[in-house]
Copies of this chain bind each other. A is one copy, B any other.
């Protein structure tokens, strides 16, 4: 019953098979191999335009190098104050790009347009004394499991573009958002004003497969060396390419994400029926935020469920748990076993099955 994170999962069989096949052959180093080119073409098809693609080792690297691509001395970038880039990537944007991050409040991990406008007002145009706003970064999914719609993204990017800011999307769970919203990847990104995307595969069936995708390839000038400097140019580039080639093939990535989302839905449904728990909000993807009684929390953990408590500061004052409650995060992955969900539901429901499960531990 592992609901701790989707990065606790293994890798999809299809992805591993492709990797094993390529590993027999190897190929030219540093991205000069055929498979790397093929993956670039796949991304172009998926996003319905020419793109520039760069593999990196982690989502942190993807985010920080993305922001750095648009940085200048005194650069400032805006993110949600819960965003991974500010909450879990300590010093990365600063190191790679000298970018100062400003965290903004907002419900469900989303930034509202007025909030962005107010933040920008502190940096009057033509007066760089306070810093130079260069970018905003949006998480899709957000850190509270919500998905920005294309319209929401478009509204935010419009505010950003009026001030000449570039727009980055942290797509660690991009697949989950696309599958959840059932929109095209293009509509969710460049057609809504996104300039650069951290495209994550690791949390959804790959071993380590993260890519920076420039929707305006000319912006990528200089990025190859920035990546090399950061130690993120894999010599065996095909090892990422082989994963992504299989991952993107015939919509495998969306199948995996759709599966995880459905599992999350089932977890949410189990919660919805319980008098001891409530959803913070309906899940848009594979993450479920739940306020539950300490008693239920105890029973779940005793039954072997693994998940993380979450900071109540993510919620508005009125949403926060009572004294005998806790806020937790449940994450489903492509490989979460159906029977684990059954067991979870049984514990939540307080049925006999659950007790027997404990006995069998």
Nearest chain-B residue to A132 (Cβ)? Answer: B225
Copies of this chain: 4
**Cβ contacts A2-43/B at 8 Å (1 or 0 each):** 001101111100001001101111111110000000000000
- Residues of chain B lying within 8 A (CB to CB) of residue A129: 30, 88, 90, 228
Known: A11-B23, A20-B20, A73-B225. Contact between A92 and B29, CB under 8 A? no
Which A23-66 residues have a C-beta within 8 angstroms of B?
Answer: 23-30, 56-62, 64-65
Nearest chain-B residue to A33 (Cβ)? Answer: B8
- Residues of chain B lying within 8 A (CB to CB) of residue A89: 228-229, 231
**A212 CB → nearest B CB, Å:** 11
**A197 CB → nearest B CB, Å:** 16
- Residues of chain B lying within 8 A (CB to CB) of residue A229: 73-74, 89-92, 95, 98
Question: Given B8, B65, B118, B225, which contacts A29 in the complex, CB threshold below 8 Å?
Answer: B8
Nearest chain-B residue to A200 (Cβ)? Answer: B235
Which A233-268 residues have a C-beta within 8 angstroms of B?
Answer: 233-236, 239
Nearest chain-B residue to A221 (Cβ)? Answer: B72
Question: Known contacts A5-B235, A20-B20; can you find 18 more A-B pairs with CB under 8 A?
Answer: A7-B235, A10-B26, A10-B27, A16-B23, A19-B207, A56-B231, A57-B231, A58-B233, A61-B230, A73-B229, A87-B130, A88-B129, A89-B228, A90-B129, A94-B99, A128-B225, A208-B235, A208-B236
A-B contact pairs, 15 of them (CB 8 A): A8-B29, A9-B26, A16-B23, A57-B234, A58-B234, A61-B230, A61-B232, A72-B225, A73-B90, A74-B90, A74-B91, A74-B229, A90-B100, A90-B130, A208-B208
